[in-house]
Amino acid sequence: MKTYLLYGAKDIRLDEKSTPEPGAGQVLLAPKFTGICGSDVHYYQHGYCGRFVPKRPFALGHEFSGVICGMGPDVQGLSVGDEVVVDPSMPCGSCRHCRSGQYNLCQAMKYFGSASCDPHIDGSLAQYVTAPAANCHILPAGISLSQAALLEPLCVAMHAVRQAKEIAGASVLITGGGPIGQLILRVVRAFGALKVAVSDVDEFARAFALKSGADAVINPLEEGAWKSCDGYDVVFEASGVPSALANGLEMAHRGGSVVLVGTLPETFPIPGNLIMNRQLQVLGSFRFANVFEKALAMVAAGIINLDGIVTATYGFAEVPQAMQRALSKDRVIKVQVAS
Ligand SMILES: [Zn+2]
Ligand SMILES: [Zn+2]
């Protein structure tokens, strides 16, 4: 089969590999849509993502839907031809985090298309991929394969929103209007946020947020941009930019919460004293747990709308172009690869 492997920074190559065999409890999938994530862009741009440094070339792709085309022994409830979306989390199930229900914090987590585990798990930028049947969710009526491939980032957004104390009736600032920021906007709207603002340096992202229901947008590069804002109960940092976090901390109300979901640099200065004297709750949010089925049901029920999030689609032959486009941030929210 054909697969794209990441060899290093800006070096992603189409390679030939043997088609994987589904083991017990596994299915063989032909991926149909793969979303390019901010983390994929980090891998593509630098050859690594934060602390996750690849030890060998591997296939990216963890936001994916596909069609089942083979099954190993002991698979129930799925058939060849089913259209499914895959939850990419494969926690160990036995460490203390797994046992306490916080399996996103599993020390031995296996995740599709990630170098966070060793051996790395190849992702969906390939003609075929094997997946545990338990991770495959049949698409409910009315959800397309392309929309289904947005479930993983939607779950990241929902998990981040769950970290904040209270969204109903709250004023919310989202720093960063990329896919996660835009999805957080839709989730907090669904959860009853009173007013929502989105800040981004990119005009397209700001206009997109306004169209998607933001009450206000802020260009942090504009002088006095924050003057007319009177602060927020909850801030989501979804840009990964240190100055955006600083703005978020500055704009948080006393006693407010600031949720960090963007991939930030390892170290940088922050206005730390603000956290103390405003008694801010600074919270991290990593991947997600216990939310995939709910997110899928909420989309199917029309409570969360994914329309328009995919702004560019590339063919399987154009994976390097898709990466480049996502990296360029040129008039895009989510880039997908269609196979
Ligand atoms: Zn992702
Ligand atoms: Zn575990």
pTM, 2 dp = 0.96
Q: Among all ligands shown, which has an atom nearest to the Cα of 36?
A: 1
The phi, psi pair for 317, rounded to 5°, reads -70, -10
Tell me if 320 is assigned to some domain: yes
Q: Is 300 left (phi over 0), alpha (psi -120 to 50) or beta?
A: alpha
**Residues having C-beta closer than 5 Å to ion ligand 1:** 37
Helix (H, G, I), strand (E, B) or coil at 103: helix
The count of structural domains within the chain is: 2
Ligand nearest to the CA of 156: 1
Ligand 1 centroid, distance to 152 Cα (angstroms): 6
172: helix, strand or coil: strand
Ligand nearest to the CA of 35: 1
What's the 191 CA to ligand 2 centre distance in angstroms?
A: 30
Please indicate, yes or no, whether residues 24 and 133 belong to a single structural domain of this protein: yes
Side-chain half-sphere exposure of 1, counting CA atoms within 13 A: 21
- For residue 55, the SS3 value is coil
pLDDT of residue 228: 84
- Ligand with an atom nearest the CA of residue 93: 2
Rounded-to-integer distance, Cα 276 and Cα 252, Å: 12
Whether residue 12 is found in the same domain as residue 108: yes
Kindly list the averaged pLDDT for each block of 10 residues, start to end, along the chain of length 339: 96 96 98 95 92 93 98 96 97 96 95 92 97 97 96 98 95 97 98 98 97 97 90 97 97 97 93 97 97 96 96 97 93 96
pLDDT reported for residue 229: 83
Structure-token match 């769950």, residue found: 162
59 and 177 co-located in one domain: no
Q: Distance from the CA of 253 to the center of ligand 1, in angstroms?
A: 30
230 and 133 part of one domain: no
Q: For residues 21 and 72, state if they share a domain.
A: yes
Give the distance (Å) from ligand 1 centre to CA of residue 279. 31
Instruction: State whether 209 and 124 are in the same domain.
Output: no
Mapped onto helix, strand or coil, the DSSP state of residue 37 is: coil
pLDDT at 118: 87
Kindly report the CATH number assigned to the domain that includes residue 187.
3.40.50.720
Ranges assigned E (strand) in 91-154: 110-111, 129-132, 136-138
Three-state SS letters, 254-303: EEEEEEECCCCCCCCCCCHHHHHHCCCEEEECCCCCCCHHHHHHHHHCCC
Centroid of ligand 1 to alpha carbon of 156 (angstroms): 8
Contacts 24+ apart (CB under 8 A), 138-141: 138/78, 138/82, 138/83, 138/84, 139/65, 139/83, 139/84, 139/85, 140/296, 140/297, 140/299, 140/300, 141/300
* Ligand 1 centre distance from Cα of residue 204 (Å): 21
Pick the closest to residue 226 from 197, 254, 193, 204 (CA basis): 197
Q: Which domain holds residue 261?
A: 155-284
Structure tokens at 171: 């004023």
pLDDT of residue 63: 98
Looking at the fold, whether 277 and 162 belong to one and the same domain comes out as: yes
